[in-house]
Amino acid sequence: MFNKGNFTLLMIFLLIFIGFGDNFLPKPLNNASFHTRTTINNFIVGMFPTWEPKVKPHQRTEKAVEEIQTDGKRK
């Protein structure tokens, strides 16, 4: 039933449905395509949490500015 040709055709239809189905399909399928794409996007984005560096890159500069403002001179 699923030979290489049928599987390729199924994958092409699936990609068209997910990627562009909400533009040209009728109303019930239109919403299904949009929600499927949104769910896949949220899943992929959720796999990669926001990354924050361990070191604050501007910490040294901010400290130097504070020292200059409080002492009037740099150490």
Q: What's the whole-number mean pLDDT along residues 15-37?
A: 92
pTM for this entry = 0.59
* pLDDT tier at 55, thresholds 50, 70, 90: confident
CA dist., res. 25 & res. 64, Å (int): 61
Separation CA 19–CA 15 (nearest Å): 6
pLDDT value of position 15: 94
> What contacts 68, CB < 8 A, 6 or more positions away?
74
